[in-house]
Amino acid sequence: GQNIDQPTEMTATEGAIVQINCTYQTSGFNGLFWYQQHAGEAPTFLSYNVLDGLEEKGRFSSFLSRSKGYSYLLLKELQMKDSASYLCAVCSLADKLIFGTGTRLQVFP
């Protein structure tokens, strides 16, 4: 079966660092995406990993371990505007995106 797990909610303080974990079990793997979604809006692309390791892009980094079925999204120097849902999605061999439950992050001043 297909299963993608993320924590439901997280809180953090402005300026801090937060790590959002994602574990997956899917039939086929063609890369893992992280999206940010504000309430009532469409998801926006943050990162993509297909090989093991860390991808860094500004304040956001994403890590992948295919052997462990594990990824994380790291957000540094948190800002209030980073309060949103963060969606982990695995691209299956059929090129379909399978989304995790999403993690709602609240950043407090």
Partner 1 sequence: GAVVSQHPSRVICKSGTSVKIECRSLDFQATTMFWYRQFPKKSLMLMATSNEGSKATYEQGVEKDKFLINHASLTLSTLTVTSAHPEDSSFYICSARGVEDRLYNEQFFGPGTRLTVL
Q: Site residues (CB under 8 A) for partner 1?
A: 30-31, 33, 35, 40-45, 48, 50, 87, 89, 91, 95-102, 104
Least distance (Å) between residue 13 CB and partner 1: 23
Nearer to partner 1, 13 or 44 (CB): 44
Least distance (Å) between residue 15 CB and partner 1: 27
Q: Residue 83 to residues 9, 25, 51, 90, 101: CA-CA distances in angstroms?
A: 11, 27, 28, 23, 16
d(CA 104, CA 52): 25
Query: For residue 82, which phi and psi values (nearest 5 degrees)?
Result: -80, -10
Least distance (Å) between residue 63 CB and partner 1: 16
